[in-house]
Amino acid sequence: MLGQSARHLDFNVTRCCCAEFYQGLSLAELANLFHCERDFNMMDCFSEDIVLKRSQAIIAGGTLLRFSF
């Protein structure tokens, strides 16, 4: 956990099972379409007031996933 308040949450994820699965199938480019982009759509379904920001992704070669809500 990087930071938390009543209106803000920041955390890092250092391992992504979805990325590992798709990389194992040599289909890494599909992981972004089927899983990573879904995170943003899911937040819209919960509430239009929730904004998800992600600066990097493991599947895109990043060392971690940093989520900020």
Q: Where are the alpha helices (DSSP H) in the chain?
A: 17-24, 28-31, 37-46
Confidence (pLDDT) at 36: 80
CB 59 within 8 A of CB 32: yes
Q: What are phi and psi of 28, to 5 degrees?
A: -55, -35
Is residue 15 over pLDDT 80? yes
* Confidence class for position 69, pLDDT limits 50, 70, 90: confident
Question: Which pTM does this prediction carry?
Answer: 0.67
pLDDT digits (tens, 9 = 90+) for 32-68: 888 888 888 888 888 888 888 887 888 888 888 888 8
- Domain range list for the chain: 3-68
Dig out the tokens for 68 from the structure: 């900020």
CB 65 within 8 A of CB 47: no
Q: Higher confidence at residue 25 or residue 62?
A: 25
